[in-house]
Amino acid sequence: MKVLHIHFGKEGGAERFFVNLVNALHDRGVEQRMLIRPDRSWRAEIEGCGKVYEGVFRRISLSRFLLSARMHMILRDFQPDVIMSWQLRASRFMPNYRKARRISRLGDYPEHLGYYTNSEILVCLTPDIAAKVREFGWTRAIEIIPNFTRAVPAPAVSRQELQTPEDAFVVLGMGRFVKRKGFDTLIRSIAGVAGAYLWLLGDGPERENLKALVDDLGLQDRVRFPGWQTDAYSYLAAADAFAITSLHEPLGNVCFEGWGAGKPTVSSRAEGPSWVMTDEEDALMFDRGDADGLAAALSRIRDDAGLRQRLVEGGRRKLEQRFSEEAITQTYLRLFRTGSSAP
């Protein structure tokens, strides 16, 4: 089995799952090559899994033609059985290479289907995304395959390094700093949880606005911005609770990170979390944008050891039963071999 991945993403949950799947396939003997953007912080995490090519794709640029010529060279040399593109820009660059099964993975809701002309199969994270694709008139194959996490217990970072008291209640949020992630709601909620500290891992265009909100609320002493971290699990290990605050979340890796790290999870009722999580069983759910509801949920977790344990155990069971690395990777392997993920 030879798989060529085309991935032009930057930093975020989609990139974490890309790294996870490439490594899981490598562990199961799949020969892979990866075409990615230059200077990715996670490149070192995939280098042991196969040859990595770097290229820049711009729609109206000489780089497009240079990269297209390079793609022809890769196909001639590697002769893949499967070509898998990851999201919009990469799918636009999917070659019409009839010797390979051509699969595009949709990590979000598409605005149209113009990018997928050369794709035979679309992999959607949730049934809701699949329904949207059908609404747009897609008549070719669709498979629904969620993510998995490789989160494992990791040595905790030092709270001292983040100027955080050892006995403080620490909430962790992470992701790309864009409006739809709802990190402003998370910051506002911390103001309502006495003594709680917040670590926000990530970066993005909303960074300065989020910092300004922290200043406006007088929370400078209790909110930390460690930046984008490739060892996020070490930060999770040092935290007490994990929060997902998205206004819109298809089914990112973030939905499983707290469970995989053994931390109680609080989540908004966004699309993806609402599909996989059960309120009071494996997470506490709150309405999107409701800072007061989030603060109340975090306070419950802080004050109730039995609740914390119940949520952690429920999340672990859900991962093992529905979203394990083995189950999801075997599903992809069936799809690569047969064109269907059905067992």
Instruction: Sketch the domain layout of the chain as residue ranges.
Output: 2-148+325-338, 159-322
Cα–Cα distance, 198 to 203 (Å, whole number): 15
pLDDT value at position 110? 85
**Does the pLDDT value for residue 63 go beyond 60?**
no
- Whether the per-residue pLDDT at 179 is higher than 70: the answer is yes
Question: CA 311 to CA 154: how far, in whole Å?
Answer: 20
Q: Is the dihedral of CA 158, 162, 165, 169 positive or negative?
A: negative
Q: What is the pLDDT of residue 252?
A: 64
What does the CA dihedral 292, 295, 297, 303 come to, rounded to 10 degrees?
-140
The Cα 138–Cα 170 span in angstroms is 45
At residue 105 the predicted structure's pLDDT band, cuts being 50, 70 and 90, is: very high
- For the purposes of burial, counting CB atoms within 10 Å of the CB of 215, is it exposed (0-12), middle (13-18) or buried (19 or more)? exposed
**Domain 159-322, CATH:** 3.40.50.2000
Q: Is residue 249 very low, low, confident or very high in pLDDT (cuts 50, 70, 90)?
A: confident
Q: Is 91 exposed, middle or buried (0-12, 13-18, 19+ CB in 10 A)?
A: buried
Q: Which CATH architecture has domain 2-148+325-338?
A: 3-Layer(aba) Sandwich (3.40)
Instruction: Please name the residue that has the structure tokens 């990777």.
Output: 329
Please check whether residue 6 is in contact with residue 93, taking contact to mean a CB–CB distance below 8 angstroms: yes
Q: Kindly report, residue by residue over 193-247, the tens digit of the pLDDT.
A: 999 999 999 999 999 999 999 999 999 999 999 998 877 889 999 999 999 999 9
Instruction: Let me know: does 134 contact 143? Beta carbons within 8 Å.
Output: no
CA dist 70 and 64 (Å) reads 10
For residues 285 and 273, the answer to whether their CB atoms sit within 8 Å is: yes
Closest CA to 14 of 89, 75, 68, 118: 89
- Residues with Cβ within 8 Å of residue 68, at least 6 apart in sequence: 93
- Average of per-residue pLDDT across 103-132: 90
2-148+325-338 shares its CATH topology with 159-322: yes
pLDDT: which is higher, 162 or 343: 162
